[in-house]
Amino acid sequence: MSASRYHVQTRREIHAPIERVWEILTGVEHYGDWNPFVVKVEMNTPQLQVGTKMTLHVRWPGGGGVKAVEQVKVLDAPAMKNQIREATWIYNYLGMPAALGMVRGSRIQKLRQEPGKPVIYTGEEIFTGWARPFLPLQRVIDGFEAQATALKGICELR
């Protein structure tokens, strides 16, 4: 895990095909089965797609939680790019603090798999806005770590 003051990032090597990791990562209807950080996702569309608005039910490690409304900006399934398979999912925070310019967040999750190697999962969030010093950044870091570990575990189990 690395963290600058307002940028949080995690990384995991996952020994599974990229298609399996993508299916689990974007299978938000099953998050309650494996994801300790985002335990439920409600969507305004029947399937995840660019433009989908999602309400994420976040459970903080150690207790408590929040709901966050997000919108999918990029949803690029695994594809070959220069002999490497890559996938990207980006969504942005839409809550009232974002509308007021207080805090904006952009969540970026990427998968990369070179031939014969494990998938490299990276998850990051970049925060902007004048109120970002008041974010519970350590809780976000802990949640990202818990989610990345759980994603690795569920993908390698199957």
Residue 158 has what pLDDT? Answer: 66
Amino acid 5: pLDDT: 65
pLDDT for the residue 114: 96
**pLDDT recorded at residue 103:** 93
**Cβ atoms 11, 151 nearer than 8 A:** no
Write down the pLDDT at residue 62.
86
Report the pLDDT value the prediction gives residue 2, as an integer from 0 to 100.
Answer: 44
The β-bridge relationship of strands 53-59 and 104-113 is: unpaired
Say how far apart CA 109 and CA 131 lie, in whole Å. Answer: 24
2-157: what fold? Answer: Alpha-D-Glucose-1,6-Bisphosphate; Chain A, domain 4 (3.30.530)
Radius of gyration of the chain (CA): 15
**From CA 99, how far away is CA 67, in angstroms rounded?**
16
Pairwise CA distance, residues 85 & 113, whole Å: 5
Domain ranges of the chain: 2-157
Q: pLDDT in tens for each of the 158 residues of the chain?
A: 444 468 899 999 999 999 999 999 999 999 999 999 999 999 999 999 999 999 999 999 888 999 999 999 999 999 998 899 999 999 999 999 999 999 999 999 999 999 999 999 999 999 999 998 999 989 999 999 999 999 999 999 96
